């Protein structure tokens, strides 16, 4: 059994190396660089970047949700359920995590202008928690990009001037704290959206002081790149283009010591 398992893993690595560009494979075999997750790739990429709007468009094209009736709770529940059902179908095909771009667009489409917003947010958070966790580890497997101009819109639904995003995150963190063993998804927040007023300062203070502060990464959306929960830089599309997915194959660690040692102080090598 040991030889059989070892043989299958060696064969798998050989197959994976053949999927890499020749120069990259040669550097891996020479020890000049390390593919950090090659041993458990299982022929699956580390993760995906998917624009949330592309999933919504998919649901609309197949008429799985009536987007003209999103003021009705049942249609919003169908929207959330079908949205995460699509993610569930993708889940078996990656090893680490999925990064949902423009998730705030989907979030506000789901909860805005509805008297049942609080219940809907709780339902949405339960879906997020389910897709963020796996039974074999304690790591997050979901990253959410919050980068909408509506992020700090006043929310009359909650009878307060608290930003909607603050309420959403507060409820999400609270539900996670009440359920032992659940990991918080990584929140990638575009800090350029922070308003220069009391509302923005209060959000920043609450986020930094939260026990989940390590689960929030502040990024700048203008550079069109994001970090997912495995700390991989994901290049986004030009905003003028249709939203497209991205595939992350692996992380690379460059062995500078090995390269320097092999050069024998000869800069031409």
pLDDT tens profile 188-240: 888 777 777 777 788 888 888 888 888 888 876 655 455 554 544 455 555 55
> Which regions of the chain does DSSP assign to beta strands (E)?
33-35, 47-51, 97-101, 142-146, 186-190, 216-219, 225-227, 233-235, 246-248, 252-254
Residue 47's φ and ψ, nearest 5 degrees, are: -165, 175
- In tens, the pLDDT along 170-195 reads 889 999 998 877 888 988 888 777 77
Region 159-171: what's the mean pLDDT?
66
Strands (E), 140-261: 142-146, 186-190, 216-219, 225-227, 233-235, 246-248, 252-254
Is the pLDDT at 130 greater than 50? The verdict is: yes
Predicted pLDDT of residue 110: 66
Residues 11 and 130 in one domain: no
Together in a domain, 32 and 135: no
The residue range of the domain holding 23 is 2-38+253-263
- 245 and 257 share a domain? no
| Exposed/middle/buried for residue 159 (C-beta within 10 Å: 0-12, 13-18, 19+) | exposed
> Which percentage of the chain shows pLDDT scores above 90?
5
From CA 266, how far away is CA 269, in angstroms rounded? 6
User: How many structural domains compose the chain?
Assistant: 2
pLDDT of 5 over the 50 cut: no
Q: How many CA atoms lie within 13 A of 115 on its CB side?
A: 1
- 264 pLDDT exceeds 90? no
Judge whether residue 85 has pLDDT over 90. Answer: yes
Residue 92 DSSP symbol = G
Whether 243 contacts 54, CB under 8 Å: yes
Tell me if 151 sits within 8 A of 160, measured CB to CB.
no
24 inside domain:
yes
Task: Work out the number of other CB atoms within 10 angstroms of the CB of residue 174.
Answer: 12
Domain presence at residue 269: no
For the segment 29-53, what is each residue's pLDDT rounded down to a tens digit?
Answer: 777 766 655 555 555 666 788 888 8
Q: Is 128 in the same domain as 9?
A: no
């Amino acid at each position: 059994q040991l030889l059989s398992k070892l043989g299958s893993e060696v064969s798998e690595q050989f197959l994976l190396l053949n999927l890499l560009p020749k120069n990259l494979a040669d550097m891996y075999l020479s020890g000049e660089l390390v593919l950090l997750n090659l041993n458990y790739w299982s022929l699956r990429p580390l993760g995906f970047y998917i624009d949330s709007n592309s999933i919504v468009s998919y649901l609309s094209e197949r008429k799985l949700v009536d987007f003209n009736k999103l003021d009705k709770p049942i249609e919003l529940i169908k929207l959330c359920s079908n949205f995460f059902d699509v993610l569930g179908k993708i889940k078996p095909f990656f090893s680490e995590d999925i990064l949902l771009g423009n998730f705030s667009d989907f979030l506000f489409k789901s909860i805005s202008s509805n008297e049942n917003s609080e219940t809907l947010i709780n339902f949405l958070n339960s879906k997020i928690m389910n897709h963020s966790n796996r039974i074999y580890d304690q790591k997050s497997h979901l990253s959410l990009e919050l980068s909408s101009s509506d992020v700090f819109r006043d929310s009359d639904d909650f009878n307060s001037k608290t930003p909607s995003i603050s309420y959403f995150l507060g409820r999400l963190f609270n539900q996670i704290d009440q359920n032992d063993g659940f990991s918080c998804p990584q929140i990638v927040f575009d800090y350029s959206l922070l308003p220069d007023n009391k509302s923005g300062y209060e959000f920043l203070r609450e986020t930094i002081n939260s026990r989940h502060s390590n689960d929030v990464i502040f990024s700048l959306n203008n550079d069109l790149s994001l970090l997912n929960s495995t700390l991989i830089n994901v290049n986004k599309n030009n905003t003028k283009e249709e939203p497209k997915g991205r595939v992350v194959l692996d992380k690379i660690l460059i062995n500078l010591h090995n390269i320097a040692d092999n050069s024998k102080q000869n800069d031409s090598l």
